[in-house]
Amino acid sequence: SLLYLIYVNDLPDVLASSCILFADDLKSWGSNASALQMDVDPAKQWSLDWNPPLNDEKRIHISFGGDSANDFVMHADFLSDETKAEIRQFSSELKSRLSEHVKAHRDVHQVMSKFGKFIDKNFNDDFSGLTAYFIDRTHKLRSKHNGCSGLSKGSSPTSPFSNDDQAGRSAEELLNLVVIEHLLRQGMDSLATDLMQDFGFTSNEVSLDKFRELSNLVSTIQHGDLDLAKKWLSEHKEQLGSKAAQLEYSLAKLEFLAAMKYQAYNPAAVLHCARQLVPFSQVYPADFEHLMGSLVFLGRNLEGTPYADLDYCTPGSEPMQISPSGSQQNLSRTLSEQEFPKQPSDPSARLIPSNDNPIGQRNTHAKPDSALAYTADLFRACYCHELNLSEMDPLCTVFNSGCRLLSRQQTLQRAISCLSKYSTIDGDTLPVAVELDPVAHQHNIFHCPVIKEITTASNGPVRLSCGHAISRDAFESLPSGDRSKVKCPYCPMETCKTDALDLIF
């Protein structure tokens, strides 16, 4: 038998481990004659214990890297010249591959070694910018003047995350609440419960029962059972306003698609479900025509047809998770539209208007979310609206917005770092306007230009007679020669203290 000893010096284990395939033993440190003999002795003892024929004189010692200068020592005079040539060729190929791996590792290591410092330099653990909104969150939903909000007067429900005592919580506690809310919205009840206990919150503080009801209702929708969702919709139809019609259409659409797939043998049942969609034909004409056209393929597999997007597929034993990214972005565009636009868009994801896909034109290139997934997202948004929460997940909204502006902010920070006139800009200042998704615009925050702080419920924004807006505390602190008037800090016009108007966004 022939003993191979391959020494790989000064190489990372991730690269050296590949040599194990070719060696009976592998050492990741420098070798010399004494070290080599120390390795041969255990091999000889192993030979005595297991009785395999082993001659330590018949060995090949190959060493790569370090100070070994890629040694190749062959103690095998018994081998033929052809075998020795093959071994030398193998050694040459092995050294070449190791050199390539070492070079690739150095290139990656150089970048990765700077990655930690890059993160420490560009990120901080100050959560004030993230949590300031939740401190100042308005606790009651104000009805809009045009009545589009759909909430009747005095029917504003209580939000589990907008209690009056939230203003007294620390930034860390508020961030923990945001994480718990995110997990509850995604149906991860067990994980949210564990975090709730670890953070010291009670089930009433996070309204755990409400979110469990939401999780159960969403799960039933995802599995094709619409009875509970329809019952909930009938009980909260008045509070939802225009969103109720959108959700009602989505549920009726699911019933039609289910009948198309599972009751194709009963055309009367399919036509009955189709009639339920007729009242919505004027609101969503393009999608209604698309649904009616699919009747041509009744009883046939829709895959490969122009109506493949209408294929009704329920998940298996594993629950379908609500998407916090793609579905949320599609849903946000629908929820941000007016109540009944002139060219109504389909509430399904495939008809969501965008820059590249005008309203009413189907995008045949992008694969849309299934009708089940979209309806589940829409129901979740309506349920959160009824709880006086934002339709979209705040944590996902903040994360997506941050990812969009991060690269641009980093570029600008490098560009202006050499300009002395910007030397006073702190880390929280972003001297550029960044276009965000419409869902990121629904939370209005007023930053007072005088005191450089975000307004709160007790220190709200006020409008001066000249049109400029500042916070209430800044307005009260403005000096004036006449006690009844104050001068605007940005223009010469004066404003009577009784003429200042409270701004409500």
The two three-digit tokens of residue 112, written as one number: 């990765």
The two three-digit tokens of residue 411, written as one number: 């570029």
Q: Work out the angle at residue 143's Cα, subtended by the Cα atoms of residues 142 and 147, and round it to the nearest 5 degrees.
A: 165
Query: Is a pLDDT exceeding 70 seen at residue 6?
Result: no
* pLDDT band per the 50, 70, 90 thresholds, residue 382: confident
Which whole-number Å values give the CA distances from 454 to 54, 394, 471, in the listed order?
Answer: 81, 18, 8
Of residues 461 and 187, the one with the higher pLDDT is 461
Of the ranges 134-143, 314-323, 415-424, which one carries the lowest mean pLDDT score?
134-143
Residue 7 to residue 1: CA distance in whole angstroms: 20
pLDDT at 459: 84
Tell me the average pLDDT across 49-59. 49
Of residues 141 and 64, the one with the higher pLDDT is 64
266: phi then psi, degrees, rounded to nearest 5: -120, 80
Angle between helices 227-235 and 242-262 (to 10 degrees): 160
Secondary structure element (H or E) that encloses residue 192, with its range: helix 189-199
pLDDT at 139: 33
- Pick from 459, 455, 457: nearest CA to 447: 455
Residue type for position 339: E
The two three-digit tokens of residue 266, written as one number: 């009963």
Residue whose entry in the numeric block shows the structure tokens 């694969």: 367
Sheet strands side by side (includes 3-8): 25-27, 3-8, 59-64, 72-75
pLDDT at 113: 81
Which whole-number Å values give the CA distances from 29 to 6, 32, 57, in the listed order?
Answer: 11, 10, 23
Of residues 394 and 28, the one with the higher pLDDT is 394
Residue 291 to residue 278: CA distance in whole angstroms: 11
Q: What percent of the chain has pLDDT over 70?
A: 58
Residue 88 to residue 142: CA distance in whole angstroms: 82
Domains of the chain, each with CATH number or no CATH: 3-122 (no CATH), 128-138+158-400 (no CATH), 444-505 (3.30.40.10)
> Per DSSP, which regions of 15-82 are E strands?
25-27, 59-64, 72-75
* pLDDT band per the 50, 70, 90 thresholds, residue 47: low
Q: Are 369 and 349 in contact (CB under 8 A)?
A: yes
pLDDT at 112: 82
Q: Are 250 and 375 in contact (CB under 8 A)?
A: yes
Which whole-number Å values give the CA distances from 39 to 32, 35, 43, in the listed order?
Answer: 11, 6, 7
Query: Is a pLDDT exceeding 80 seen at residue 147?
Result: no
* pLDDT band per the 50, 70, 90 thresholds, residue 62: low
Residue 349 to residue 342: CA distance in whole angstroms: 19
CA 28 to chain centre: 42
Which whole-number Å values give the CA distances from 281 to 168, 272, 277, 346, 360, in the listed order?
Answer: 50, 15, 7, 11, 13
Which whole-number Å values give the CA distances from 135 to 129, 156, 160, 458, in the listed order?
Answer: 11, 19, 14, 11
Of the ranges 94-108, 266-280, 356-370, 447-461, which one carries the lowest mean pLDDT score?
356-370
Of residues 158 and 348, the one with the higher pLDDT is 158
Of residues 494 and 147, the one with the higher pLDDT is 494
- Pick from 445, 494, 501: nearest CA to 472: 501
Of residues 310 and 332, the one with the higher pLDDT is 310
pLDDT at 66: 47
pLDDT tens digits along 466-492: 888 888 888 888 876 667 788 888 888
Q: Work out the angle at residue 451's Cα, subtended by the Cα atoms of residues 449 and 453, and round it to the nearest 5 degrees.
A: 80
Of the ranges 331-340, 346-355, 446-455, which one carries the lowest mean pLDDT score?
346-355
The two three-digit tokens of residue 363, written as one number: 């995008």
pLDDT at 425: 52
Secondary structure element (H or E) that encloses residue 55, with its range: none
Q: Are 413 and 426 in contact (CB under 8 A)?
A: no
* pLDDT band per the 50, 70, 90 thresholds, residue 240: confident
Tell me the average pLDDT across 79-106. 79
pLDDT at 416: 66
Tell me the average pLDDT across 239-244. 83
* pLDDT band per the 50, 70, 90 thresholds, residue 370: confident
The two three-digit tokens of residue 16, written as one number: 């050296």
Which whole-number Å values give the CA distances from 435 to 36, 402, 440, in the listed order?
Answer: 66, 11, 10
- How confident is the prediction for the chain on average, in pLDDT? 68
Query: Is a pLDDT exceeding 60 seen at residue 502?
Result: yes
Of the ranges 60-69, 191-200, 285-294, which one carries the lowest mean pLDDT score?
60-69
Radius of gyration of the chain (CA): 34
Of residues 282 and 206, the one with the higher pLDDT is 282
Which whole-number Å values give the CA distances from 265 to 152, 313, 500, in the listed order?
Answer: 45, 18, 70
Task: Centre a 10 Å sphere on the Cβ of residue 408 and count the other Cβ atoms it contains.
Answer: 12
Query: Is a pLDDT exceeding 80 seen at residue 437?
Result: no
The two three-digit tokens of residue 434, written as one number: 């960044």
Residue 461 to residue 505: CA distance in whole angstroms: 10
Of residues 79 and 36, the one with the higher pLDDT is 79
Tell me the average pLDDT across 174-183. 86
Query: Is a pLDDT exceeding 80 seen at residue 131?
Result: no
Of residues 52 and 234, the one with the higher pLDDT is 234
Residues 6+ apart with CB under 8 A from 130: 171, 175, 178, 398
* 6 three-class SS: strand
pLDDT at 193: 87
Query: Is a pLDDT exceeding 80 seen at residue 305?
Result: yes
Query: Is a pLDDT exceeding 50 seen at residue 448?
Result: yes
Of residues 191 and 6, the one with the higher pLDDT is 191
Residue 387 to residue 41: CA distance in whole angstroms: 76
Q: Are 93 and 66 in contact (CB under 8 A)?
A: no
pLDDT at 199: 86
Query: Is a pLDDT exceeding 60 seen at residue 374?
Result: yes
pLDDT at 45: 59
Of the ranges 78-82, 214-218, 491-495, which one carries the lowest mean pLDDT score?
78-82
Q: Work out the angle at residue 168's Cα, subtended by the Cα atoms of residues 163 and 173, and round it to the nearest 5 degrees.
A: 85
* pLDDT band per the 50, 70, 90 thresholds, residue 505: low
Query: Is a pLDDT exceeding 80 seen at residue 434?
Result: no
Of the ranges 150-159, 177-186, 415-424, 490-499, which one carries the lowest mean pLDDT score?
150-159
pLDDT at 487: 83
Tell me the average pLDDT across 440-460. 77
pLDDT at 77: 56
